[in-house]
Amino acid sequence: MAQQPDQLPKAEVSNADTSTSKPKAPKAAKAPIGAKLNSEPNDLSKPQPAPKAAKAPKAKKKAKDDDDLDLLADLEFDLAADQLIGDENPTQSTLSISADPAFDNHKAGFVSIVGKPNAGKSTLMNQLIGEKLSIITSRAQTTRHRIFGLLNGEDFQIVYSDTPGVIQPKYELHRSMMRFVNASLEDADLVLFVTDLFEDFDETDVIEKLKRVEVPVFLLINKIDLAKTPDQVEERIAIWKERLQTELVVPISALLGQGTASLFDEIIKRLPNHPPYFPKEDLTDRSERFFASEIIREKLLTNYRKEVPYSCEVIVQDFKERGDDMLYIRADILVERSSQRAIIIGHQGEALKKVGVQARADMETFFGKKVYLETHVKVEPDWRNKANKLKYFGYSS
Ligand code: GDP
Ligand code: MG
């Protein structure tokens, strides 16, 4: 890869380890992630079509093919091209960035991570970026939104896109989640299809869809650290090679970072020459509020059973700096029924208190500041099925 440190303005020198061009391992001594996020107001009230300004021409080209806009999980609606693009004047910003000769040898592209729930998509993205951006739990459907995570080098920018798992939608919420998955296939330069050693991937429509994706697809067989024998991995590779021809099959352990460094090399090779889509100092397109709400949602998922956490949405209503090193965060936890409200709060408020203590601790690490966290539980009947509510929460694209 061409190095051009002299040509780059200081702000664009990345925080990635470009000397080796390898993704960084999670770092201990480093500014908290939250310090680098954009602080725009309520991210959840505003869907994030994100880098579509620069990406629009490609999305538009693909959108012509109605077939390609079929939904992954057999959904009954179509995506309009505009929904994918979401920018009235896309070419302008593309041209203004491309005009900079400093980026002639620069690679940039969108890498979408797709697969079934629990395959390890979020773990992989965090491993590739070296930061905990996506929430990870052992429960299915933890990731509801499409989350961009950026890995920046002096001469490259990879925009990873972590997506919700491919599921058969039961609620309007699920349909919105699948729209994120579809959008991420439409504008990708490369697709990482994550499966694991044990998964019985029976959804042939997804496989058919992947066969028709125009960009390279890598098939990743994750969780190889759990293999009892090397043969087990070989068998999986053989099975998958019969089902789906992909550019590359890579056995990995997203959890332990096995195979992820060579994966990075293979990804970089296939990215097009393109100026960066985001400022180089950015780590993600998401705002501080988004991460604050995700941290609370993670604690809901780990502290409550069954359906309860899936019925919750977290809205950060207030996010204010208090002095130099204190944040005041006020969040509403929305539930669908008053019985769920009682469960979330618990006996004498004990359950909610635990969520608050755990969330606050994570937020303090993430933002690098003391956090005063206030949470309220509110009933919003049937919010998962209400299109207007979902739009407000940022799910409609
Ligand atoms: P997602 O739903 O596809 O985003 O999956 P997650 O990244 O949330 O991971 C689901 C579960 O699998 C979590 O408990 C992870 O810790 C676990 N996991 C992910 N990758 C690996 C891996 O390589 N090895 C092992 N043993 N567990 C993994
Ligand atoms: Mg996930």
DSSP characters over 71-121: -TT--S----HHHHH--SSHHHHHHHHHT-GGGTT-EEEEEEEEESTTSSH
Place 381 in a pLDDT band, splitting at 50, 70 and 90. Answer: confident
Which residues surround the ion ligand 2 when the cut-off is CB under 5 Å? 121-122, 142-143
List the domain boundaries for the chain.
5-270, 288-392
More confident of the two residues 279 and 139:
279
DSSP 331: E
Specify whether the CB–CB gap between 221 and 240 falls below 8 A. yes
Q: Which residues line ligand 1 (CB under 6 A)?
A: 115, 117-123, 136, 138, 142-143, 165, 222-223, 225-226, 253-255
How far away, in angstroms, is 89 Cα from ligand 2 center? 32
Q: Whose CA is nearest to atom 2 of ligand 1?
A: 118
Closest CA to 247 of 213, 202, 280: 213
Report pLDDT for 86. Answer: 28
**Separation of CA 317 and ligand 2 centre (Å):** 25
Atom of ligand 1 nearest to the CA of 143: 4
Residue 157 dihedral angles phi and psi, to the nearest 5°? -145, 120
If you take atom 10 of ligand 1, which residue's CA is the nearest one?
118
> Measuring CA to CA, which residue among 196, 187, 119, 195 is closest to residue 159?
187
Give the whole-number percent of the chain exceeding pLDDT 70: 59
151-to-12, 27, 98 alpha-carbon distances in Å? 12, 14, 20
Nearest CA to ligand 1 atom 9: 120
Q: Render the burial of 185-218: b for 16+ CB within 10 Å, e for the rest.
A: bbbbbbbbbbbbbebebebeebeebbeebebbbb
Asked whether the beta carbons of 120 and 14 are under 8 A apart, the reply is no
CA 254 to ligand 1: nearest atom: 23
> What's the CA gap between 123 and 361, in Å, rounded?
21
Top-tier CATH class for 288-392: alpha beta
Please state the CATH superfamily assignment of the domain spanning residues 5-270 in this structure. P-loop containing nucleotide triphosphate hydrolases (3.40.50.300)
pLDDT, tens digit, for every residue of 27-51?
Answer: 333 455 555 554 443 333 333 333 3
- Residues 302-307, mean pLDDT to the nearest whole number: 83
**323-344 pLDDT, tens per residue?**
878 999 999 999 988 999 999 9
Q: Percentage of the chain surpassing pLDDT 90?
A: 27
Instruction: Take residue 250 and report the two structure tokens written for it.
Output: 């890579």
Local structure of 25: helix, strand or coil: coil
Question: What is the 138 CA–ligand 2 centroid distance (Å)?
Answer: 9
For ligand 1, atom 13, name the residue with the nearest CA.
Answer: 138
Span 282-301, pLDDT tens digits:
666 677 888 888 889 989 98
Index of the ligand 1 atom closest to the CA of residue 115 = 3
